[in-house]
Amino acid sequence: MFSHSIDGNKEKISGSAGISPIYARVNIDGPLFSKKSSFLTSFRSTYSDWLLSNINVPELYNSTAGFYDIQGKLDLYLNEKNKLLVNFYSSTDRFRLHSDTTYSYKNTIGSLILNHKFNFRLNSSTSLICSLFNYKISDLSSEDKSFTLTHHLSNYSLINDFEYNTGAGRKYIFGAEFNFYTINPGERRVIGTSNITPFYSANERALEYGVYAGTDFSLSDRLKVETGLRVSGLLSFDDGKKYMYSGNMPIEVENITDTLFTGRNKIQKTYITPEWRVSLNYSTGRFSSVKFSYNKTAQYIHMISNTTAISPTDTWKLSDVYVLPEKGNQFSAGYFKSFRRNRIEASGEIFYKMVDNIKQYKAGADLLLNDHLETEIINGKGKSYGFELSIEKSGGRIYGRIDYTYSRTLIKSVSEFSGELINNGNYFPANYDKPHNLNILATIKTSRRLIISTGIYYSTGRPVTYPVSKYMLGDQVFLQYSEYNKYRISDYFRTDLSVTVNSNLKKVKLIRSSMTFSLYNLTARKNAYSVYFKSEGGRFNAYQLSIFGTIIPTITYNMDF
């Protein structure tokens, strides 16, 4: 609600910079207008492209990888009752891994937030946010096979939040938000001489709204309650073309009975969902507490993801007449305790969640450049449960944190037509089901000048569907696959180590510097990014693609001023 991000330094201009063989960063922040306001800017970039174009090494020949982002923030004091925050962020990622296809992603976000104090009890925050995301995949190498694939998501929001404190330990919050989405599902553009068919899509548009009210209060000096209701909804607009399917048949291309060409500003479908939440926090002692909570949520935008593909071509889709919103009910309970004067904090939490209308894809689903995605998606039911344990030690020379989560997410497809069911309608693991997840972080300050830190990350491999047998029909050999998501790819494991040496701190210097030596993926494990099959000489061989599958050492020189 109220943004709590890093504010610029209001006292003096300060900043920091860092440079390593692969990338550089710089941030500067400082006061503005007689120290009541501040600004902050930062910029990060890799410069590998320029260097790569000058090197004649085969692996690098056809590869390029670049990233940059820039952020600017203004924290303006208008008067005693008003503060205006202006924020801008933009990032671009580009890469091409030893092939002719270039991927590029761009994110741009701008926001204006006005914080207004009515009186000592009531204040509000009004935000206007614009967020744009797009990606582009292109292959312009040969004239007759060139193409550019694009996907675009933009979001304009107006949010107004109010907070009212009664002074007797009771707080009320209420507000409204409007979010206008425009998504271009995917287009393929070609140049004149290309043999590839172009594909254009109309934009999907919808307005998501929410109105909410909630309150926090104490029932006793040990029991705090927080509860609220948010009514959310979606107005989905016509995009000009709608397919009609025959009534009691599955939604499939073969069952399209009519194509309606409609006006673009009509509302084709509305959804409305009340989202309740309640949470209880009970202090069992001075340093421990127990918490229970229940949440109901609705989601009107969905990520359509083809995880079997070797490349990242996830797209977004809004709910409409055929694609229902996902609704979830989540229960959780947790126990928190801190020891040794808050130096050690430990917590344990269990949760259970049920989701309706979770999106599942039919067999042979064609998810890219498809203007009737409803024929490839079926609604399913999902359940997710597990527990999370975490312990953190701060203060002193050693900082450490261990987080372990066990969680399962299972989905089953739901349809009145048995031909559409996956795995006969039984529960199967979701694409992102990773039962074990362990993260360990530790930082040791061996002296004032030397800091060693390490991270260990482990998670179970995600599910995958493998071909299990093959057979012949006519002169052709075909593969038979296992049940969907029955197998798993190899587990993910990575260790990082870094050593930071600070410059001599004896003198008070204008610029403090440090050098960091780090090793990414210390064990050089080839963590799988994707698994795919190739038919070679009568056999089907399985291959695993890993990125950064080796130790990567870097040196970074940092400066603070």
**Residues paired with 377 in a beta bridge:** 361
- Least distance to other proteins from the beta carbon of 419, Å? 8
The residue from 483, 491, 496, 560 that contacts other proteins (CB under 8 A) is 483
- Binding segment for other proteins (CB under 8 A), chosen from 173-181, 224-232, 342-350, 478-486, is 478-486
Length of the chain, in residues: 561
Binding to other proteins (CB under 8 A): which residues in 532-551?
A: 532, 534, 538-551
CA distances from 274 to 163, 181, 269, 328, 491 (A): 21, 21, 17, 11, 40
* Sign of CA pseudo-dihedral 200, 202, 204, 205: positive
Q: Angle at the Cα of 329 (from 325 to 334), degrees rounded to 5?
A: 145
Q: Which two structure tokens, joined as six digits, stand for 320?
A: 């409409």
- Least distance to other proteins from the beta carbon of 176, Å? 40
Comparing CA positions, the residue from 36, 43, 39, 34 lying closest to residue 6 is 39
Residue number with CB closer to other proteins (234 or 464): 464
Is 137 a binder of other proteins (CB under 8 A)?
A: yes
- Least distance to other proteins from the beta carbon of 202, Å? 18
Q: Which two structure tokens, joined as six digits, stand for 11?
A: 């006292």
Is 306 a binder of other proteins (CB under 8 A)?
A: yes
Cα separation, 9 vs 41, whole angstroms: 11
- Least distance to other proteins from the beta carbon of 52, Å? 7
Strand ranges (DSSP E) for 118-146?
A: 122-139
Element (H, E) at 61: helix 58-61
Residue number with CB closer to other proteins (485 or 514): 485
Binding to other proteins (CB under 8 A): which residues in 366-405?
A: 366-368
Is 221 a binder of other proteins (CB under 8 A)?
A: no
- Binding segment for other proteins (CB under 8 A), chosen from 115-123, 204-212, 286-294, 365-373, is 365-373
Cα separation, 429 vs 408, whole angstroms: 8
Is 27 a binder of other proteins (CB under 8 A)?
A: no
Asked if residues 505 and 448 have their Cβ atoms less than 8 Å apart, the reply is yes
Is 202 a binder of other proteins (CB under 8 A)?
A: no
- What single string gives the DSSP state of each residue in 162-226? EEEE-SSS-EEEEEEEEEEEEEEEEEEE--TT--SPPB--PPEEEEEEEEEEEEEEESSSSEEEE
Binding to other proteins (CB under 8 A): which residues in 73-102?
A: 95, 97-98, 100-101
Is 311 a binder of other proteins (CB under 8 A)?
A: yes
The residue from 481, 505, 517, 523 that contacts other proteins (CB under 8 A) is 481
CA 493 distance to own-chain centroid: 21
Asked if residues 7 and 40 have their Cβ atoms less than 8 Å apart, the reply is yes
The residue from 200, 478, 517, 557 that contacts other proteins (CB under 8 A) is 478
Q: What x-and-dash track marks residues 489-508 binding other proteins by CB under 8 A? A: -x------------------
Is 482 a binder of other proteins (CB under 8 A)?
A: yes
- Least distance to other proteins from the beta carbon of 520, Å? 9
Is 427 a binder of other proteins (CB under 8 A)?
A: no
